A = this chain, B = another copy of it.
Amino acid sequence: MISKAEIKTIASYKQAKHRNEEEVYIVEGVKMVDELLISNQEIEILCATKEYNNPDQVRAKKVLEIKEDDLKRISSLSTPNQVLAVVKRQEAKIPIIKSKIVLVLDNIKDPGNLGTIIRIADWFGIEDIICSENTVDLYNPKTIQSTMGSIFRVNVTYYNLSQFLSLVPKGHPIYGTIVEGGKNIYKEALTKEAIIIIGSESHGISSAIRDLITHPITIPSFSIAQSAESLNASIATSIIVSEFKRREV
């Protein structure tokens, strides 16, 4: 059974400061933890109620039985669901580019958007995401939970974007959505290898890197009133990535 000291420690990981110090993050709920157990992530502690019965849980370094009430204490969910895991971070400090299409996120602020973008990347076979250093915390519980397990399959690296983009070989296409003067993504020929920059929810792509875009694009609006102001960052990402990938079909 979990001890009071362990409850206190794990509950402290709700705060970014403590998560960062220990280089861990929290994964919660049956579905997410089932996915975690078949991933290659290193599981420090798994706290499970009697109801949770995935036999793979033995692969965690430490398995602790926990009561419903104590699970509530350590959980960030409004309705905790049987199991919570403390996982060791395995992030690369330098961006490694494996996939043909790489997403670059510039100052995404909403954890739900970041999580959803990771899920989109996973669906479309994009293995690498580079985030600006001011992008929301990957290890925010809301980000983790909204990836629905895709966090275990996509490499996310935080890095200085100007520096990262300056390392891109000359001629390698860098796409970015801009409001004025971008080419219609539905009509434009798209390259098979590409870096795609996604701007922040409120400010778009920052001026520091806007000039590095070699292929400015735009998603045209069909709004009758021409009034819908913008698309949510994760929605724009899905439309753009879908356009790149469908041409491979």
Q: Is A205 an interface residue (CB 8 A)?
A: no
Considering the chains assembled together, what is the distance between the CA atoms of A53 and B223 in angstroms?
A: 28
**Known contacts A153-B228, A235-B234, A122 near B223 by CB under 8 Å:** yes
Residue pair B127, A231 in contact (C-beta under 8 Å) = no
Partner among B112, B222, B243 whose Cβ is within 8 Å of the Cβ of A123: B222
Q: Is A239 an interface residue (CB 8 A)?
A: yes
Counting chain B CB atoms within 10 Å of each CB, which of A148, A219, A227, A248 scores highest?
A: A227
Chain B nearest CB, measured from A173 CB (Å): 19
Mask, A226-241, CB within 8 Å of B = 1, is: 0111111011001100
Q: Is A245 an interface residue (CB 8 A)?
A: yes
Q: Is A119 an interface residue (CB 8 A)?
A: yes
Partner among B235, B245, B246, B248 whose Cβ is within 8 Å of the Cβ of A120: B235
Residue pair B242, A184 in contact (C-beta under 8 Å) = no
Chain B nearest CB, measured from A241 CB (Å): 9
Partner among B112, B227, B235, B246 whose Cβ is within 8 Å of the Cβ of A186: B246
Give me 22 A-to-B residue pairs in the complex whose CB atoms sit less than 8 angstroms apart, sorted by A's number: A119-B232, A120-B235, A122-B228, A123-B228, A123-B231, A124-B221, A124-B222, A124-B223, A125-B221, A125-B223, A125-B224, A150-B228, A153-B223, A153-B227, A186-B249, A219-B242, A220-B249, A231-B238, A235-B235, A238-B238, A242-B242, A242-B243
Known A119-B228, A148-B229, A239-B242; further 12 A-B contacts with Cβ < 8 A: A112-B112, A120-B235, A122-B228, A123-B221, A123-B222, A124-B223, A125-B222, A127-B224, A149-B227, A153-B227, A235-B238, A238-B238
Chain A positions within 8 Å of B, measured between CB atoms, are 112, 116, 119-120, 122-125, 127, 148-150, 153, 184, 186-187, 219-225, 227-232, 234-235, 238-239, 242-243, 245-246, 248-249
